[in-house]
A = this chain, B = another copy of it.
Amino acid sequence: MGVTIKDIAKSAGVSYSTVSKALRDSPLVKEPTKKRIIDIAGQLGYQPNAAARSLVSKKSHTIGIVWPTIERAAHAALITSLNQRLEQLSYTTLISINEMEFAINTFNRYQVDAILAFDDGENIHNYQSTVPIVSYGIANSASVYPTVDANRRKAIQTAVEYLGSAGHQKIIYIGDMLGEDRLQQEKTTGFKQAMTGLYPADDVSSRLIQVAGLEQYDGYAAAREVFEAQELPTAIVSGSHDLTRGILRAVHEKGLSIPNDISIISYDNLPESDDMEVPLSTVGVPLAAISDKLADVLMATIQQENTDTAIYLEPELKISGSSRKLDDSAVSRGEAYHG
């Protein structure tokens, strides 16, 4: 069994309550005594028993993350970033990859201080939990728990509208529109809405390119098929960073030039990746903004401050070398064209 404060107390010749105070750096115990106790605790390799501590304090200083879709490596980067942020706030992160309801029950038993549910499929708002829940996914009127929404729909819309205003008409979207993943569906919806808004006469469906998966190769394969077809699009909106990497390879291979022959805007949360050949135009909420907001909402929820149940993050459009304005349009809108 582990070392307890009683062991330390015995070894230091003081009462165990003094040990408790010393270790929590209470001013109620004299400096030299404190030091002696801390030293002994270190020597014995003492680790406070979380069960006992959370039993009495009713706080565990732990956040439980429910992440049932571990295999779709999707949120890995976000979880890493959030984990760091929470560590700064002296919270510990535990992850469960179990099915949503089971995971929520587990975290209830463990009395974590709050649960973060990565919700890209089912609706979590039916589950009961005495531990407060925060959801990361898609906000809507039925949300009962605070839901942070990276507003993927608006992100893609923004990209499309920008491309439209830059004179592009032959815009395609490469992404997943058939899968179960509601986050992907949102992006598709954004594309459709924006395109229908810009070019009501067009048939949007022909501009949607379905991928076989969300990895780099899938982007590559999809783009290649596109390039086989008769007419090249002037702009591509890509559903994810990985897909974009593949698309870029296909562009390269086809001998096309970016952004002269084709413009690309990628949905992306990641901080600027410098291993790109071309500085990439991106749209999306930056990873740090998401994890900061998630941490904020979690803390607020723990502090019983009630927050909105729908928290939309603002996607950022970052225009860089991989996209350009089409000459005619730029002219027609009275804007100069900058190569």
Q: Which residues of A contact B (CB under 8 A)?
A: 1-3, 45, 47-55, 58, 60, 70-71, 73, 76-77, 79-80, 83, 87, 92-98, 105-106, 108-111, 128, 130, 215-217, 220-221, 245-246, 249
Contacts and interface: CB of A to CB of B under 8 A. Distances in A.
B130 A1 contact: yes
Contacts of A92: 96, 98, 106
A98 B63 CA distance: 13
Given A94-B94, A96-B93, A97-B79, A55 B49 contact: yes
A2 B105 CA distance: 12
Contact of A48 (B83, B109, B128, B221): B109
Contacts of A48: 109
Contacts of A53: 109
A79 B97 CA distance: 9
A109 B47 contact: yes
B87 A93 contact: no
Contact of A80 (B77, B97, B105, B130): B97
A220 to B, nearest CB: 6
A93 B83 contact: no
Contact of A111 (B2, B3, B96): B2
Contacts of A128: 45
Contacts of A73: 71, 73, 76
A98 B109 contact: no
Given A47-B109, A109-B49, A130-B3, A217 B249 contact: yes
B96 A94 contact: yes
